[in-house]
Structure 1
Amino acid sequence: MSSSSLNRLSKAATSLLSVNIGTLILLAIWWIAAALELIDRVLLPTPAETFVSLWNALISGDILQDFGLTLYRSLYAFMIALVIGVPIGIILGSSEKIYQSFEFLIDFFRSTPATAMFPLFLIVFGIGDFAKVAVAAFAGALIIFFNTAYGVMNARKTRIMAAKVMGVPRWRVFRDVIFFESLPQTFIGLRTSISLTLVVIIVAEMFVGSTNGMGQRIIDAQQVFDMPQMYASIIATGVMGYGLNQIFLITENKFVHWKGR
């Protein structure tokens, strides 16, 4: 192997290590705690036992169905939240009078935990998949329209004034200036919303009459004290959330490349 290839390999390894140093530290603390039995071994398996359990679940395909169902429910809830949240946010943000008319309701629901709405959604939609999706969509839509509204309201006034001075029609000011100015804040809302919908779906799968999904898988493993499988399922769920967040970051960087300028 040439020296240039070795240098590239060394730089790649150094870069990989630097961006994962926090993960390595956490794994080291976990391994030490398990090896010294600072926590009962029944409650805290070693990282090796956990990753072996995860690998076996992947090889058998046992975890894939639950993973897919949770991902489907989360994306379904997010799409509903997106379709509802963005238009409402634009309408609220484009008019101070309209926003003030709904300010109490906005602050009220923003202060109400989404999980507190489970009983209401169960009464309305029954014990089924859509009740879980609906409450997650409700939580996600709140985040999206808050951020969209703030993005519209905080669009740079200088650019809006410049467009108006040049005689640009109002609808084009909104389409070509306000809409694009609000996108960075809107994408923050989208990234936060997809994470929140996943959290709500997981909680719903744990406690709202579910027989499948990652939430149910985690709670089932906990109840039979299959700790390696419980931790493995938690890790798989975390990977799902991380992956969804990274997809939105990449999309944001590609389509909102002007942010901060």
Structure 2
Amino acid sequence: MQNLRISLVQTHLDWQQPEANRERLTALLAPLEGQTDIIVLPEMFTTGFTMEPQTVAEPVTGPTLQWMQQQAAVLGAALCGSIVVEDDGYRNRLLFVTPEGEVHHYDKHHLFRMANEHEYYAAGTERCLIEYKGWRILPQVCYDLRFPVWCRNRDDYDLLLCVANWPAPRRHPWRTLLLARAIENQCYVAGVNRVGEDGKGLDYSGDSLLVDFKGQALLDGPAGEPFIKTGLLNGEDLKQFRRNFPAWQDADDFTLQPGGDRA
């Protein structure tokens, strides 16, 4: 299990302008060529968190996926973030694209009812586990972070990735939950949130974090400001901690049935 470099991209987003966001991100990401292994973008990074999927939804193999494949190949790093796609309804879909062009996807399971997301998008029903460079990765999207059963580590992942558009008034829960998920699951957690104001007038403070398995922040940039920061995940440190403090062996046993119901 080699060490893993991961880059958090905290940025503002142009409201419902996919091409403009892709062009700006192309320039922002260029200095990362050969410098990292995974690049994490925010939730709905081409549009902002919109409830107008009919306006911005892309086909499954649309221009943003093609852009991600091209960028991953050029940068030599996996690229991760969510976009709006049309696939048996509209989906808030996280894409994880490797430099070789391999595509993994996870559809957001917990839809944010306070914004009526469940009225516009179809919920995903299955967790997704990704293996990359010897690491087992669990992708999650924004509101999923509030549900510990869905995020529970059953000794099946080492890194939790959460992409978000999490408004500034709730920044304390965002930061607290990222730390809590790392501690309870004995894993690294990378949470990437946007900054700036969206088309609905909501403000976002970012507060993107990289957290280790003890709940200690490894990366924590200035709130409200764009940044790109790269941190190192130490695989041996993680394995040693789990051996020395095997709380995972005492976790309650359960399964998730299709649809996400607990059994």
Report TM bin, short chain: under 0.3
More strand by share: 2
Higher alpha-carbon Rg: 1
Provide the TM-score with structure 2 as the length reference.
0.24
- Return the structure number with greater relative CO, CA threshold 8 A, min gap 6: 1
